[in-house]
Every structure is written in structure tokens, then in C-alpha cells.
Amino acid sequence: MTTLISLDARTGQPTGESWPASTTADIDAAVRAAHAVAADWGASNGLARATLLRDLASALEADREGLVTCADRETALGSPRLNGELDRTTFQLRRFADMAERGEPFRTEDDPAVTGAPPVGHPAMQRQRVPLGPVAMFAASNFPFAFSVLGGDTASALAAGCPVVVKAHPGHPALSQRVHTLIQAVLARQGLPAGLIGLVQGAGIEVGVALIRHPLIAAGAFTGSTRGGLALQAEANARPRPIPFYGELGAINPVVALPGALTAQGAELATTLAGSITLGCGQFCTNPGLLVMLDHPATYTFIGQLQAALAALQPHPMLTPGIRQAFDAGVAQLLQAGADLVWQSQGQGTAPGPHLLTVGAQRFMAEAALREEVFGPSNLIVRCADVEEVLGVLMAVGGSLTVTVWGVETDTADHRALVRTAMQIAGRVLFAGVPTGVAVTRAQQHGGPWPASTAPMTTSVGDAALDRFLRPVCLQDAPAWLQARAGVPC
């Protein structure tokens, strides 16, 4: 039996805690327990769902000190960052609680009967939504609270009326177990079945594959690498009955920096961008991995300012030794594909230093390897002769969670073309600031064309994340008792 070991992220040494990986029987039991409660939870009202979500948030806050200490040991993300992330997690839980209580999952569209022959005449119809059923949720490495056991995917699925089976990330097994213990205590206090929120874990791919293949799983939600997400999506599609798979994958998140913006506030923008590149040791899905610039004196001044700003920063250790190895390999691949190293810091111990590389636009568009995400504190500067080359670079990216465009305040044909192209390839387009930091709001869109996500019409952050786990159903000439339920499934 494979054993899952908790490691100290700063030393790489075991902490003394370990657990057996979930067996096929364990996975089957967790999914069947979720399936057993699916009908009742799907028929629950908004108040019941809200009560659970709010109590889960309170349970996290009550154990804040222990949870943050455990998370810091396993991730090296630091107490300030982790406390902020825990606050975001409880905010998400309570936001989806509010949505459930005010009836968002139960919205209906009434279409009263019209007498006469079709196409004008039609029976009475009511369009409502029903929960999909048990959701397989794959936790992320880089957000041990907000995209993990009780993260946004779990919160939105529960608010939609779906049970959840979480595949914990092996990078923080002790934290995952601790959070799941809190969950089970909350479920017991509310008299809810333990299977409403299940947990399975393992370091290999076998556990995740077995979970997504289980015939009683109705949907999958994933945050992680393009390679991992693509493999799981293939499994979801290859089932005898394919299921929706909502994968939020990798992105290189281009920043287009036009000379006007750099001339006006280059030093300030350099400091801001350097902080974004190194934030969380570059281990954000919205990390700005690409800087697209025109051949202009302001560009070369800015590169020097950015180098100086990066030199003042030292990232912390990466989440796992494997992620550090992948970062080093990613930088090496960029160099092999034709990029030149502008500057790098040597780093300290297990923490890598920031890397700044550069390449011409034509080379970038010709070499697919230059468009691969490097998960860590690096940035590739693409030098463009004109706006047409900038547009070509963006289209070569193909799909991204974000595109940032600095300097398009005036309405010109070039600026319209840049904005139009940015909107074609990204789920979120920024005109100020940097892409790191994804607000949980009603208008948020965290997703984008492939390879940013597997379902670009959906979002994994914000209020609309709820919609992923609800399927529309039309009720025609429904009896009065069913209409009286006002969209709550029976």
C-alpha cells in the first residue's frame, strides 16, 4: 500500500505524519456515500445549504492558528499569505451561502400557456435547474485553503445542491486531513450524513483516475497543470457516460506594455510587475509569465527598472521539490527554444531566484515551446517591431486566463485591435494593475480559451461558478404542487 507523507516545505524532511493512500475500495465507498445523500441534498432548501456553508466557515476560523501553522509547514507560503487566504476561503463559503439563501440555485423562468396553434400557441412551461449529483473535486497545490478541500469548487457545488468527493493534493496531506476532520464535526452537529463531503488522497495518478472514472460521479472540477487537467478530461470524456469536466489549467497571462504607459509611470509599473512575478514564488495560475513590448526607448528603460525591482525581491521556497525541478526544467526549455537570459538571481537554498528572459516576436510565434507555462518566478519578454507583431504574439498564445494591456486609454484603431484580440484569447482583460489576485465577485470570469480551461464558458471563481453544477430542465404542464416548490427540486 502506498503511503502519503507530510513534508516540511522548507527542509524537504518528513514531519512524522503519514497516511495510507486511498484504495479502490475507499474511493468506491466515498463516492457511494456521496451518491446516497445526493437526492436529499439536491432537494434541500437554500437555508439548509446556507447554514452548512456558514458553519464550515466558522469552523475554519475557530481553528485558524492550527490550520495556518500546519499549512505553512507543508507549503512555506508564510503566515500573512495563509491568513489572508483563509479569510478569502471563509468569504467564499459565506458568499455562496448568501446566494443559496436568496434562491440563486432555484431561479426559474415561467412561460405561461398561450392558446392557439403553434408556433405561437404552446403549453405552460417552466424552466428550472437541478443539481448534477456527486462532484469529484481536485484540490490545487498552490492554494491550500481557497482552491482545496473547502475551496471555491466545493463551496459552489454544495450551494448548487451537489455532494462533493475531494481528491486532496499530496502537497499538503496533513492540512487536508485536518480540514476534513473539521468538516465531519460540522456535518455531525447538523445531523447531515458524513458522505456529503468525502475525502480521498494519494500521491500517484491512480486515485484521481479512479475517482473520475467512477460511474456515480456526475462532474469533475480541477485546478492545476495543463497536463494533469488534459489527462483527467480525457478520462471524463472516455467514460461510457461522459460527464462535464471543469478544468482551470495553466496560462502565461501576457502583459502588453505600450510606450506611453511606460513613459508616464515606468518605475511604478516595474515595481508592481516585479511583485506580481514573484508573488507566492510565482506559483499563481495568473502569474504574468509574458511581457509583450514594442521596440522603443521607453521599453529598454523599463527592462532595466524591472530588473532592479526584481533584484530587491527574494521568493520563498517552492511548494514541493517536484515543482522546483519543473521550474528549472521550464527555464531550460525556454533557453533551448531560443530565448536569451537577461538576468537572474541565484536564489537562496531551496528558493529559486527570479529569472528574466527575452526573445523576438517572430521566434516566439514560430516556437511552441516558448509558449509553455513556466510555473514559478520567471518572465519572458517578447520584443515586437510594431502593433501587428503584438497582435500576432497574442494570437500565438491562443488562450489565457488573463491579458493585461497598459496604455490604451485613447480610442485609436491600434488600441481597438489590441483590446479586441485580448478579449478573443482571455477570460479577463485588465487595463491597470497586474493579473495576480482574483476577486470573488459577481462579474468575475476565471477561465479562458484552451489551454487556460477546458470549459471557457464557465468560471471557477465568482458567483457564476455555481452554474457549473446545475443543469436546466423544462417542466411542461407541471402540476400545481410541483410549481409551488418555486424551483427547489423534489
Q: Does residue 476 register a pLDDT over 90?
A: yes
Q: Please give the average per-residue pLDDT across 455-473, as a whole number.
A: 97
- What's the pLDDT at 351? 86
Q: Give me the residues paired with residue 453 across strands.
A: 248
Q: How many CA atoms lie within 13 A of 417 on its CB side?
A: 13
Please state, in angstroms and as integers, the Cα–Cα distance from residue 260 to each residue in 194, 219, 265, 275, 294, following that order: 58, 47, 9, 22, 11
pLDDT band at 16 (very low <50, low <70, confident <90, very high): confident
pLDDT tens digits for 106-135?
999 999 999 999 999 999 999 999 999 999
Q: Does residue 104 register a pLDDT over 70?
A: yes
Q: What is the DSSP letter of 133?
A: -
- CA dist 131 and 135 (Å) reads 10
Strand order in the sheet with 254-257: 340-344, 355-360, 378-384, 290-294, 254-257, 400-406, 426-430
Q: Does residue 469 register a pLDDT over 90?
A: yes
Q: Please give the average per-residue pLDDT across 390-405, as a whole number.
A: 97
Q: Please give the average per-residue pLDDT across 136-144, as a whole number.
A: 96
Strand 3-7 with 14-20, pairing: antiparallel
pLDDT band at 348 (very low <50, low <70, confident <90, very high): confident
pLDDT band at 88 (very low <50, low <70, confident <90, very high): very high
- What's the pLDDT at 73? 96
Of 70, 281, 285, 384, the catalytic one is 285
Whether 285 is catalytic = yes
pLDDT tens digits for 246-283?
999 989 999 999 999 999 999 999 999 999 999 999 89
Dihedral sign of CA atoms 454, 457, 461, 463 in order? negative
pLDDT band at 157 (very low <50, low <70, confident <90, very high): very high
- What's the pLDDT at 17? 87
H or E, element range at 294: strand 290-294
Q: What is the DSSP letter of 122?
A: B
Q: Does residue 1 register a pLDDT over 60?
A: no
Angle at 229 (CA atoms; ends 223, 231), nearest 5 degrees: 155
Q: What is the DSSP letter of 376?
A: S
Of 101, 104, 248, 373, the catalytic one is 248
Q: Which residue has the cell 468560471?
A: 459
* Average pLDDT of the chain, as a whole number: 96
pTM of the shown model:
0.95
Q: Give me the residues paired with residue 474 across strands.
A: 127
Whether 384 is catalytic = no
Q: Please give the average per-residue pLDDT across 170-186, as a whole number.
A: 97
- What's the pLDDT at 296? 96
- What's the pLDDT at 431? 98
* Domains (range + CATH), the chain: 3-111+124-250+466-483 (3.40.605.10), 254-430 (3.40.309.10)
Please state, in angstroms and as integers, the Cα–Cα distance from residue 43 to each residue in 31, 40, 135, 466, following that order: 19, 5, 16, 16
Q: Does residue 321 register a pLDDT over 90?
A: no
319 phi/psi in degrees, rounded to 5: -60, -40
The torsion of the CA quartet 247, 398, 394, 467, rounded to 10 degrees, works out to -40
Q: Does residue 482 register a pLDDT over 70?
A: yes
The torsion of the CA quartet 316, 317, 323, 327, rounded to 10 degrees, works out to 60
Q: Give me the residues paired with residue 406 across strands.
A: 257
- What's the pLDDT at 37? 98
- CA dist 457 and 449 (Å) reads 9
